[in-house]
A and B are shown apart, each in its own frame.
Chain A
């Protein structure tokens, strides 16, 4: 195999400790958010205060790693100031780029900080060259994080038709719905993925075991799955639950509880012109971050030197030990 352009490895940092772990394990860049509703992983115990962000950016920059700030939820009318403050603070703290989803916030950032680097979040759901070109033309977007709904062949095509860099998810939890266009959590809990940055919030999750050790997982008042004692229970997200229809019973109507693992497709993605490879998991433990980042560091380095790395370890880290290449390999996924 010939040598390939070495892409940037973009890794999750839910906390300052995870950030350090990811950088030490070989991340070229980390992405993280401020505490509160301004990012799409607004979970208790996660994310950075302003002071923590200042320290983290300084620490990462000393080690040659970039920090990307996710400000990628959608402010409801009446509270845009919280998001504007987050953008202003991220810029003044000196993050390497802000990752924006809301078109109004992209407009704000472009007008207020025209020289600062802006990435388009996966939450913006820009899935075609036309959509990406619109964002680039209007807001001078430097990089688009592609939705997880395109095949590698389609990514190659997108790459050839847009002026900006591409960042693609390669590993971790995979939501089944188009990013930025899912109100399922809000339908059940009253908290919105887009407006509040939450998906299947833990305080609405319940596990109930019956006398046969079958486990019913519940979000709010709706049963999401019922898991027998010999199955691995995934975290109850609506799009990975089991349901009934008239035509088919007890089936994963949207997707099974599986994780995305594109390790085997890395060379294809690198050839397709992907600039940055993104690992999901700001809510995951430091041990998880360390393992996944070091495995990917090894794999990316090996592929770019024309070698074939051993990628078997990553399977053990996927959700329920089940993995998928999702939409990336072929259209039959759809």
Chain B
């Protein structure tokens, strides 16, 4: 298999608990209007949420495929309870579908069939990349904390061993997973008795320090950055590393505009500066960050592109 030459935009899975109709309408719009080539679909955070979207799944998949998108089914990122294990098996053991593995238990079910390694899989180095590829991975999405130097080393190897490399370039950053649901905890409930309270926060729940400074974002069992990752200024460098998949993580507003801005840069219709202005106008109500890329604190925004 040869490595893809030209980079493509991909759309990561919706990570939040949106109303099912909103979820459906979002994907129908993506199918019809968005310049992404791959769409990751499925519940990554909480097995309890998954059935909420099932009624619309077939329609969404059909429409996305008719729109020329490749659909990849993402698995859960953490597997503990019996419900988790059943959902993991249902997705990962399905033959004839593209699967993104987000937990090692997925690999047990996939049994070497071609698949994608998701950003929760800790593919940090050459040996991991070789192992995953030998085990059937055709595409690997790096952990969001991977610095530029790591991307560079892996990009070189990816080309040599014939696996595609993907990184998240936009959207809130997944920082941690837990067995405990922090949405439920905020409402004095437990994961089992949550009554799906996470549905009130369509881009997660902001967590502020006691001094009032915005800090993190709660999304059920996941803790995300408060800031919104934006690597538009680094796009050329990332592509030069050999990264071929550029992942945009969806939010409740501005996702189509975000895709347009990145697509504009990829197709030389926009300069990075022009795209940055568009992203500024369509962003969620949080500042941009790109610190991880520069091996700096992840919340920071490095505006001059300096690796010092």
Contact = CB atoms under 8 A, between A and B. Distances in A.
Interface of A: 74-80, 102-105, 107-108, 124-131, 133-135, 147, 149-150, 154, 176-178, 180-184, 186-190, 192, 194-195, 216, 220, 222-226, 238-239, 241-248, 250-251, 253-255, 327, 331-334
Nearest to B194: A334
B179 A103 contact: no
A327 B126 CA distance: 35
Interface in B131-154: 131-132, 143-147, 149-154
B213 to A, nearest CB: 7
Given A76-B149, A243-B209, A245-B206, A184 B88 contact: no
A254 B211 contact: no
Contact of A78 (B143, B144, B153): B153
B62 interface: no
A107 B179 contact: no
A177 B209 CA distance: 19
Contact of A80 (B85, B127, B209, B215): B127
Contact of B147 (A75, A76, A80, A130): A76
Nearest to A135: B104
13 contacts: A77-B124, A77-B125, A129-B85, A130-B108, A149-B179, A177-B223, A183-B144, A183-B173, A190-B298, A245-B186, A245-B207, A248-B186, A253-B207
Nearest to B146: A76
Contacts of A247: 186-187, 205
Interface string B286-308: 00000110011111100000000
9 smallest A-B Cβ distances: which pairs? A104-B127, A149-B179, A104-B128, A77-B153, A130-B105, A187-B298, A334-B191, A130-B108, A131-B105
B81 interface: yes
A331 to B, nearest CB: 6
A104 B125 contact: yes
A331 B176 contact: no
Given A134-B104, A327-B179, A334-B180, A243 B215 contact: yes
B132 A103 contact: yes
A154 B124 contact: no
A250 B209 contact: no
B241 to A, nearest CB: 11
Contacts of B209: 222-224, 241, 243-244
Contact of B207 (A131, A177, A190, A243): A243
Contact of A103 (B78, B128, B296): B128
B1 interface: no
A50 B198 CA distance: 50
B107 interface: yes
B181 interface: yes
Given A130-B85, A187-B298, A245 B205 contact: yes
B80 interface: yes
Nearest to B187: A247
A194 B145 contact: yes
Given A128-B80, A183-B298, 19 more contacts: A74-B122, A75-B124, A77-B151, A78-B149, A103-B128, A104-B127, A104-B130, A107-B128, A127-B179, A177-B223, A178-B178, A182-B176, A184-B176, A222-B215, A223-B210, A243-B208, A253-B186, A331-B192, A333-B179
B103 A131 contact: yes
A177 B178 contact: yes
B135 to A, nearest CB: 8
Contact of A177 (B80, B130, B150, B176): B176
Contacts of A333: 179-180, 190
Contacts of B184: 334
A133 B128 CA distance: 18
Interface in B211-234: 211-213, 215-216, 218, 223, 225
B266 interface: no
Contact of A186 (B84, B85, B157, B297): B297
B10 interface: no
A176 B181 CA distance: 11
A242 B210 contact: yes
Contacts of A190: 291, 295-298, 300
Given A128-B88, A131-B104, A254-B182, A104 B208 contact: no
Contact of A254 (B105, B124, B131, B178): B178
Q: In this complex, which of B129, B291, B297 has the most chain A Cβ atoms within 10 angstroms of its Cβ?
A: B297
A135 B159 CA distance: 27
Contacts of B216: 184, 187, 238, 243
A194 B144 CA distance: 12
Given A128-B79, A128-B88, A131-B103, A187 B225 contact: yes
Contact of A107 (B131, B144, B146, B178): B131
A130 B79 contact: yes
Contacts of A108: 127
A37 B114 CA distance: 33
Given A131-B103, A149-B178, A176-B180, A244 B124 contact: no
A245 B208 contact: yes
B124 A178 contact: no
Given A128-B105, A133-B108, A76 B79 contact: no
B131 A103 contact: yes
Contact of A331 (B81, B88, B178, B186): B81
A224 B215 CA distance: 10
A44 B178 CA distance: 28
B109 interface: yes
A127 B78 contact: yes
B235 interface: no
Contacts of B297: 186-190, 220
